[in-house]
Amino acid sequence: MTTIDSIDNGVNVQALLDARETLKGAPEAARFTWRSTTRWENGVHTTSTVKDYFGLGAEHSHKTESSFTADHPEVFAAEDHGITPIEYLLVGLGSCLTAGVASVAQNRGIQLRSVEATLEGAHDIRGILGADSDVRNGYDGIKVTFSIDADASREDIEALVAQSQKRSAVFDALTNPTDVTVEVA
């Protein structure tokens, strides 16, 4: 019999549960601001950096600055220095859901051996090209397929995946409307 203490997916669930209790009484501390800066290189090629964020009432920095190159493929008549911005949405969703699976598994005492999420976003580019005003610009659907090897029944694994969506920031941001303000400084 595996106990919760003996399994280790590398997630400090106790710290998260403690934070949940603490922040219940401190809603202001729970407010985070995430930031990124995007610089135009040339053509449709950009470089984005992420370093600082605000949370728990103070400014913080990641240990290192991360840099992300975005471009468009040659079939879009671009130079393909990096992935397209809409692919970054898949990166965000896949990493968020997978992190959620690991956290929920840790909390439920399920040892994971491997987790792989494959994401596919269906996209009709007539929208962004302005070729058909009835076609939206973004994805018309995203499919995520998880392959999970773990000490658990199929039912328990499905429950992990379901719970991970329920508590996912990126899943929420993609499935529900978000108010977006874009200004010129």
Partner 1 sequence: MSSLENRITTVVVGGGHAGLAASHFLSERGIDHVVLERGEVANSWRRERWDSLRLLTPNWQSRLPGHAYDGPDPDGYMTMGEVVGFIDGFAARTRAPVRTGTTVTSLRRTDDGYHVTTDQGELACRAVVLASGACNLPAVPATLSEAVPAGVEQVTPFTYRGPDQLPDGGVLVVGASATGVQLAAELRRSGRPVTLSTGEHVRLPRTYRGRDVLWWMDASGVWDTRYDEVPDLTRARRLASPQLAGTPGRTTLDLNALTADGVELVGRATAVRDGQLLFSGGLRNVVSLADLKMERLLGTFDAWAQETGVDSDVKPPERFEPTRVPGSPRLRLDLRGGEVRTVVWATGFRPDYSWLDVPVVDGKGRLVHDGGVVDSPGLYALGLPVLRRRKSTFIHGAEDDARDVVDHLAGYLATRR
CA angle 58, 100, 30 (to 5 degrees): 25
Of positions 140, 147, 149, 151, contacts partner 1 by CB under 8 A: 140
Helices (H) and strands (E) in the chain, counts: 5, 6
Of positions 6, 59, 177, 184, contacts partner 1 by CB under 8 A: 177
In one-letter notation, the amino acid at residue 51 is K
CB of 49 to partner 1, least distance (A): 30
Asked if residue 82 binds partner 1 (CB under 8 A), the reply is: no
Asked if residue 171 binds partner 1 (CB under 8 A), the reply is: yes
Helical residues (DSSP H) of 2-51, grouped into ranges? 13-24
Asked if residue 22 binds partner 1 (CB under 8 A), the reply is: no
Under 8 Å between Cβ of 68 and 45: no
CB neighbour list of residue 80: distance below 8 Å, 6 or more residues apart: 71, 72, 73, 74
| CA neighbor of 160 nearest in space, from 1, 5, 11 | 11
The residue among 70 and 90 lying less far from partner 1, judged by its C-beta, is: 90
CB of 165 to partner 1, least distance (A): 4
The residue among 82 and 100 lying less far from partner 1, judged by its C-beta, is: 100
Asked if residue 175 binds partner 1 (CB under 8 A), the reply is: yes
CB of 122 to partner 1, least distance (A): 10
Which residues form the interface with partner 1 (CB under 8 A)? 140-141, 155, 158-159, 162-163, 165-166, 171-172, 174-177
